Amino acid sequence: MSVVTEEIKAKAEFYQGDQLCQEKSKELLKEILLPNGLLPLKDIEECGYVRETGFVWLKQKKETTHKFQKIGKLVSYATEVTAYVEQHRIKKLTGVKTKELLIWVTLNEIYVDDPPAGKITFKTPAGLFRSFPVTAFEVEEEAKEVKEAVEVKEV
């Protein structure tokens, strides 16, 4: 059963469709100063953001597993991912797990220390945590697009 009720949707900036939700999720990550590749979801059906509380959700057609190549970690995203966001931080995260050794571990908080070039830390409900370079979660395609736009302006 979904945590996202019609009452929550009524208060939210609400979007449907994969392409629009991909754009909006990247915009949100940029707005709260987190790396743009943190939510590599596929086939997103809907997403929403309640600004007054910071509550966000993303619903995708099926569970997705993504490997962050720069750190060699597998992360699983459920069909529904929810959280509360603020600057440099995602709290009360649901629907995200990471593989440590042979088991999947639930994550419930993500935050950046010493932004923008610092470390990004992932915490579990048990208080265990692991930190990585922020750059491991940045999508390079956007950096290329920005570079190309700058080159076009210079010509």
pLDDT tens digits for range 11-33: 999 999 999 999 999 999 999 99
Q: How far apart are CA 48 and CA 101, in angstroms?
A: 33
Q: Is residue 1 part of a domain?
A: no
How confident is the model over 36-83, as pLDDT tens digits? 999 999 999 999 999 999 999 999 999 999 999 999 999 999 999 999
Q: Is residue 126 part of a domain?
A: yes
**What mean pLDDT comes out for the span 114-118?**
71
User: What CATH number is given to the structural domain containing 92?
Assistant: 2.30.240
Q: Is the pLDDT of residue 149 over 50?
A: no
Number of domains in the chain: 1
Residue 40 lies in domain? 6-154
Q: Is residue 92 part of a domain?
A: yes
pLDDT at 151: 53
Q: How far apart are CA 24 and CA 92, in angstroms?
A: 20
**What mean pLDDT comes out for the span 140-152?**
50
Burial of 110 (0-12, 13-18, 19+ CB in 10 A): buried
The model's pTM? 0.84
pLDDT at 81: 97
Q: How far apart are CA 62 and CA 64, in angstroms?
A: 6
Q: Which residue has the tokens 């009524």?
A: 10
- State what percent of residues in the chain have pLDDT above 70: 88
Range in 20-29, 84-93, 146-155 with the lowest mean pLDDT? 146-155
